[in-house]
Amino acid sequence: MLVIHDALLGSEGKQRQRAVLEAALSSSIDHPNVVATYAYEIKMLGAVNPAEDKHASCVVIQQTGSSVSDVYQLYLVNELCEGGNLKHALGVGLVPGVAAGGVSVLFTLALALDVACGMAHIHARGIVHGLGASVA
C-alpha cells in the first residue's frame, strides 16, 4: 500500500491521492449502474528531480530535505463503456430525447433512475462521489 503524508502533497498531490483512493474504493463496488473497476495498480516509475521534470499524470513523492522524488503511475482496468461517459453521450446526442426534450421521456426517466440507483448504492457505502456535477 502506498501512503502519502498530506504535508508532502500540495493541492495537485491531494487530487492525485484522491484518484488513488477512488480507484481502491471503486474496485470494491459491484452494481449494474456503476462502472466497474476490475483492477488497479500503482507502479513506481523511478526517481526524478522535481525542479527539472513535471509529471502531470503521476504521483510524485518527495522526502523532506531531499532533492529527488519518487514518481508513481496509477493504472486502471475499467469496464468498457462503448458510448463513452454520460456527459459525452448527452453532449453528442447519443441519448435520445434528453437534450431536446423529445419523445423519449420514458427513456430519459429510466436513465435518471439508473443514475440515481448507482449513486444511492455508493452513498449507502459511505462514498461521496464528487463528479456528479460534471455530468450536467
Specify if 1 maps to a domain: no
- The span from the CA of 78 to the CA of 98, in Å, is 26
Judge if 37 and 18 occupy the same domain: yes
- The span from the CA of 29 to the CA of 94, in Å, is 26
Judge if 92 and 74 occupy the same domain: no
Average the pLDDT over each of 4-8, 38-42, 95-99, 108-112 and give the range with the smallest value: 4-8
Judge if 70 and 101 occupy the same domain: no
36 φ, ψ to 5°? -80, 140
Judge if 40 and 95 occupy the same domain: no
Specify if 37 maps to a domain: yes
Q: pLDDT (tens digit, 9 = 90+) per residue, 91-132? A: 787 776 655 556 577 888 888 899 999 999 999 988 877 654
Judge if 92 and 41 occupy the same domain: no
Q: pLDDT band for position 134 (50/70/90)?
A: very low
What is the SS3 assignment for 123? helix
Specify if 16 maps to a domain: yes
CB 121 within 8 A of CB 34: yes
Specify if 92 maps to a domain: yes
Residues composing the chain: 136
Of 35, 56, 78, which one is at a domain's C-terminal end? 78
How many domains, the chain? 2
Judge if 36 and 90 occupy the same domain: no
Structural domain of 126: 86-135
How much is the pTM?
0.61
